[in-house]
Amino acid sequence: MKFPARGLYAITQTDNKSIATLLREVEQVLSGGAVVVQYRDKNPKNARLLASELAKLCHQYHAPLIINDDVELALQVAADGVHLGKEDGAVAHARQRLGNDAIIGVSCYNSVDRAIAAQRDGADYVAFGRFFTSSSKPLAAPADINTLHEAKRVLTVPIVAIGGILPDNGGQLLNAGADLLAVIGGLFTAQPEHAARAYRDLF
């Protein structure tokens, strides 16, 4: 499955939720228009089972499932790809393990140089952020919106923006050069489908 060129990139919010609740919320977000889902879980209990169920669900909606940080889990559940932070190993290793068709994304924080290197190494997309105050990533270093302008000028892979993005501030990131908006907290509210539609309308 190819990585989408544009759209809403949903990232799971797993804390204190049952598998059934999480799957229900993700399905609502997909129904609302998310084009890709990342399974992110900092305190995993049933990661393999949950990731496997998420993969099935995403594929019903023709959306790729990306696994955060964990190349081996992505391999085990036949996910569509993996997202790598700076501590998660090289693109080449992930490509070797997951194959030529896997989607590999790389966190680039506020560094266009890191993004250029990731693209050169074969990444399928790059992510910058956080752009706004974020409850999911409160300690993450801030990124500058000018980074998106520069990245758009020099990169050919899709650009993902993350960090505190809401329907009322996401438009400025798209205008600056982001292709996809990655959202956690703003999506998994009392009405995930309604929230997803509000983001989808930005595109």
Q: Of residues 141 and 121, which shows the higher confidence score? A: 121
Rounded CA gap, 35 and 199, in Å? 11
Give pLDDT, residue 138: 67
The Cα–Cα gap between 2 and 177 comes to: 20
**Closest CA relative to residue 186, chosen from 148, 131, 142, 144:** 131
pLDDT per residue as tens digits for the range 28-54: 999 999 999 999 998 888 999 999 999
- The domains of the chain, with CATH numbers, are 7-200 (3.20.20.70)
CB 29, CB 193: distance < 8 Å: yes
pTM above 0.85, yes or no: yes
Contacts of 84 (CB under 8 A, 6+ apart): 69, 90, 91, 94, 104, 105, 106, 107
Instruction: Please give the share of the chain, as a percent, with pLDDT higher than 70.
Output: 97
Q: Tell me if residue 174 falls in helix, strand or coil.
A: helix
Q: Are 85 and 120 in contact (CB under 8 A)?
A: no
Whether residue 137 is predicted with pLDDT greater than 70 in this model: the reply is no
Q: Taking 70 as the threshold, does the pLDDT of residue 76 lie above it?
A: yes
What span, in angstroms and rounded, lies between the C-alpha atoms of 59 and 96?
23
23, 38, 119 from 105: Cα distances, Å? 23, 11, 9
**Contact between residue 203 and residue 12 where contact means Cβ atoms under 8 Å apart:** no
Say yes or no to pLDDT of 27 above 90: yes
